[in-house]
Structure 1
Amino acid sequence: MENRPRVGVVVFVLRGKSVLLGQRRSSIGDSTYALPGGHLEFGESFEECAARELKEETGLDIEKIEFLTVTNSVFLENPKPSHYVVIFLRAALADPLQEPQNLEPDKCHGWDWYDWNNLPQPLFWPLEKMVQSGFNPFPID
């Protein structure tokens, strides 16, 4: 493995006061709940990456994509130490009635909507860290 940071893009897909989360099947954070997303590809904007990854993972289409924050996460635990710069975006469903599908069952146990004030456990640690800091992905009314 190369010893250089990779760029990840994840998206808070919001519906009412709920957020879309999937349970990971991965060497990093296995069985934890995480946001949809993936690796930024060469020449891609953050918004294009978020829309592509969400479509590949869930079949959902999004709109009103906005930048929220960025984190610098170093995973030192085995089996694969890694360093990620993660771009966090927020988006709305293009069709509010559309439901997520699990299009990558080898990477995710399934997707569902979770109330922000009653999130499932355990959360993927970068997301857990954000929640504990008081971060709120919802627009201020």
Structure 2
Amino acid sequence: MEKLETALVPRVGVAVFLTKGGSVLFGRRLSTVGNSTFALPGGHLEFGESFEECAIREVKEETGMKITKTEFLTVTNWVLPEGPKPGHYVIIFMRAEPANAEEEPKNMEPNKCEGWDWYEWENLPKPLFEPLQKLVDEGFKPFPS
């Protein structure tokens, strides 16, 4: 019984709106949760890591890119009570820009992502990863107002 309780502890994820002009970087997920949906670069917050450090590390690990101007945008509470992997995630959404505007993302984790591409905010890919779709449905925009 103890193992089941441990599995149901909330986890913290960090997702990064990597922006360039009016575009945002998205990749199509290859995973049990959200398979074939488009998501932002990101991953699990490691022990002792700041949100900014996690954003920098995850973008580098997934896209090979260095980022700058990292800032907190919002947070969501996402609960998956059923399905292949029940879980509860607190997702920290950050915004950042590429350190080199000319650099293009590389698919550093082809077992987790089909590849990365830039999409205009007004023409997002579909389907979006569920927590991201919820933000979009609520009218959220990742750009300064």
TM-score range, shorter chain: over 0.9
Matches within 5 A, 1:84-95: 84-95=89-100
C-alpha distance in structure 2 between counterparts of 1:38 and 1:52, whole Å: 9
1:34-60 deviation digits (Å, cap 9, x = unpaired): 000000000100000000000000001
Match among 29, 34, 39 for residue 34 of structure 2? 29
Asked if residue 112 in structure 1 is aligned to residue 140 in structure 2, the reply is: no
C-alpha distance in structure 2 between counterparts of 1:134 and 1:81, whole Å: 27
Name the counterpart of 2:57: 52
Structure 2: gaps of 5 or more residues: none
The answer as to whether partners of 2:17 and 2:142 remain within 8 angstroms in 1 is: yes
1:14 Cα deviation after fit: 0.3
Asked if residue 77 in structure 1 is aligned to residue 82 in structure 2, the reply is: yes
1:76 Cα deviation after fit: 2.3
The answer as to whether partners of 2:8 and 2:86 remain within 8 angstroms in 1 is: no
1:89 Cα deviation after fit: 0.3
1:79-128 deviation digits (Å, cap 9, x = unpaired): 11010000000001100000000000000000000000000100001100
Match among 84, 91, 105 for residue 100 of structure 1? 105
Query: Partner letter of residue 143 of structure 2?
Result: F
> Between Structure 1 and Structure 2, how many residues are aligned?
140
The answer as to whether partners of 2:78 and 2:88 remain within 8 angstroms in 1 is: yes
Match among 6, 14, 18 for residue 11 of structure 2? 6
Query: Partner letter of residue 103 of structure 1?
Result: M
1:78 Cα deviation after fit: 1.2
Query: Partner letter of residue 36 of structure 1?
Result: P
Match among 38, 45, 64 for residue 40 of structure 1? 45
Structure 1: gaps of 5 or more residues: none
**Structure with max Cα Rg:** 2
1:75 Cα deviation after fit: 1.3
Helix, strand or coil for the counterpart of 1:114? strand
